[in-house]
Amino acid sequence: MKIEFETYVIFVAFITSFFAVFLSNGIIIGVPAIAHDFAMNNVIQNWVPTILFLVVAICTVPAGQISGKFGVKKSLLAGIIVFLIGSIGACLSFSTESFLIFRIVQGVGMAFLNVSAMAMVVHAVKPQNRGKALGFTVTGVYLATSLSPVICGFLVHNFGWRSMFYVVIPFLVLCIILMITKIPQEWKTYQHDTIDKVGSLMYGIGILLFVYGFTTLITTTGKLLVVAGIILLVIFGLYELRQKYPVFNMNLFRNRKFTSSNIAALCSYIAIMVVTTILNYHFQYVRGWNAQMSGMILIITPIIMAIMAPNAGKLSDKIHPQKLAAIGIGIAAVALAILTFLTGDTPLYLVVIAMVLEGFGMGLFSSPNMNAIMSSVPPKDAPTASASQATMRTIGQTMSLGLLTLVFSWVMGSLDLAPQYASMIVQASQIICLICTIACILAVFASLVGIRSSDKFNTDRPE
């Protein structure tokens, strides 16, 4: 049976999305074991997942312009190879410093992977089927999110944390083979553009100052870095408006559907990314479960997301995607409101209810919201739109984990995360969940603004 070209594209996007998220999410389960091996305190420990997303946030916008100029396929292939090198290096690490360096390498590869995979799907798939195709790609993300706690919990418990990195290597090699042999086509939309080196540097430094400052916001230095980062990012935006070939086309934000969907994505990732870590800490440090047991219960939310995502994506080809997104993120807000009252005495069934609601809500939100972003710009700007949604995701994830570091350092200082400090862990978790509930509510309002906008989508979907 002959496999259609579009099917290969969707499959490769699915696989690459799956294994990027598998490591970035699954490592949360292995963080206690990694911290124990390298004698990390709670601040350094929280940087294990955070540093990856920080690097992705810095590199994603330049990756959008680079992939548009040199080709989406080439950029995806390069991203997979760099991610593979980082994964091999991480599992061979011998110290905290070497491990974090290879996490940085992984982040660079992941930035190109995130941008190029989504842009390739948009270019290769017909507009009227875009929501369905993006839904399958998002399913790869959620399947990885759902399976990684179980698989990584099993691997860490039985074979050690390094095994998490070993298992992804053959699949990354498979992706490289498929890219070379089954996808001969290339897509270039900015081939005549000049790379905006100044804009890329300005953006990268601005994001670095803002995010790092955010993680240390309780200090004077942290506050100054946040302010400096915001000022530099504002200057970056003004600079980009005056460039013939900007690294990021700021004019896209004139479209209120594009802008509102990006804001909703940012708020949603700020709210949701940290929840898995909060629950993992709750299960391992407050309830005293091991990594394998924690991974088994953490599968609930993402498996529901994985079931919902392709169906919600398909539905968003027929119904205004931001209507679905508003409903979905509203349901997620209810789930986080429940977790705001999480303590060591909270009945397990109530925690499970919150996890089910979170999974249903985010599954209903993510694919339609991504479809709204990618469908609100002309096809030639697909790499930039892909970079935008990837940037919102990674900045949101980084800020979410930065919020984790910030609140835990404020509540616990430099104490190690341990069962004897369970009351402090509960206190910090409740504060974070309250902030995340507010972020979800803001995402609802952002989606409602997009619904009322008169701007059009570039598909045949009815408004």
* Residues 357/332, Cβ–Cβ less than 8 Å: yes
Distances (CA, A) of 238 to 248, 270, 386: 11, 25, 21
* Phi then psi dihedrals of residue 361, to 5 deg: -65, -45
What pLDDT score does 443 carry?
93
What pLDDT score does 146 carry?
65
* Residues 77/132, Cβ–Cβ less than 8 Å: no
Cα–Cα dist 47/101, whole Å: 12
Cα–Cα dist 128/113, whole Å: 24
Digit-coded pLDDT (tens) for 22-61 = 887 778 778 888 888 887 776 677 778 778 878 888 888 8
Q: Alpha helices, DSSP H only, in 376-460?
A: 382-412, 422-452
∠412-206-101 over CA atoms, to 5°?
A: 65
237-241: which pairs have CB atoms within 8 A and are 24 or more residues apart? Answer: 239/198, 239/199, 239/202, 240/196, 240/199
The per-residue DSSP string of 273-296 comes to: HHHHHHHHHIIIIIS---HHHHHH
What pLDDT score does 1 carry?
40
- Mention every residue, 6+ apart, whose C-beta is less than 8 A from residue 212: 54, 222, 225
pLDDT band at 182 (very low <50, low <70, confident <90, very high): confident
**Is 1.20.1250.20 the CATH classification of the domain at 5-196+243-452?**
yes
Cα–Cα dist 35/37, whole Å: 6
∠311-313-319 over CA atoms, to 5°?
A: 100
pLDDT band at 3 (very low <50, low <70, confident <90, very high): low
* Phi then psi dihedrals of residue 289, to 5 deg: -80, 160
- Is pTM, for the whole model, over 0.75? no
396-421 average pLDDT score = 80
Cα–Cα dist 437/133, whole Å: 30
Hey, where are the domains in the chain?
Answer: 5-196+243-452, 197-242
Cα–Cα dist 455/463, whole Å: 10
Q: Is 185 left (phi over 0), alpha (psi -120 to 50) or beta?
A: beta
**Distance linking the first and last C-alpha atoms of the chain:** 38
pLDDT band at 106 (very low <50, low <70, confident <90, very high): very high
Q: Say which amino acid occupies 435.
A: I
Of the candidates 312, 313, 323, which has an alpha carbon nearest to the alpha carbon of residue 374?
A: 313
Distances (CA, A) of 377 to 64, 275, 383, 406: 14, 32, 10, 36
Percent of the chain with pLDDT over 70: 94
64-88 average pLDDT score = 87
What pLDDT score does 83 carry?
92
Distances (CA, A) of 233 to 197, 201, 239, 426: 15, 11, 10, 35
- Mention every residue, 6+ apart, whose C-beta is less than 8 A from residue 401: 46, 49, 50, 53, 273, 274, 277
* Residues 384/252, Cβ–Cβ less than 8 Å: yes
Q: Is the pLDDT of residue 210 over 80?
A: yes
Cα–Cα dist 8/15, whole Å: 10
What pLDDT score does 461 carry?
44
pLDDT averaged over every residue in the chain = 83
125-152 average pLDDT score = 73
- Measured in whole angstroms, how far is the alpha carbon of residue 89 from the centre of its chain? 22
185-200 average pLDDT score = 78
∠448-371-363 over CA atoms, to 5°?
A: 75
Q: Is the pLDDT of residue 408 over 80?
A: yes
Distances (CA, A) of 200 to 230, 279, 390: 15, 36, 16
Digit-coded pLDDT (tens) for 345-400 = 889 899 999 999 998 998 889 888 888 887 787 777 777 777 777 778 777 877 88
For residue 208, the tally of other CB atoms under 10 A from its CB is: 17
What pLDDT score does 227 carry?
93
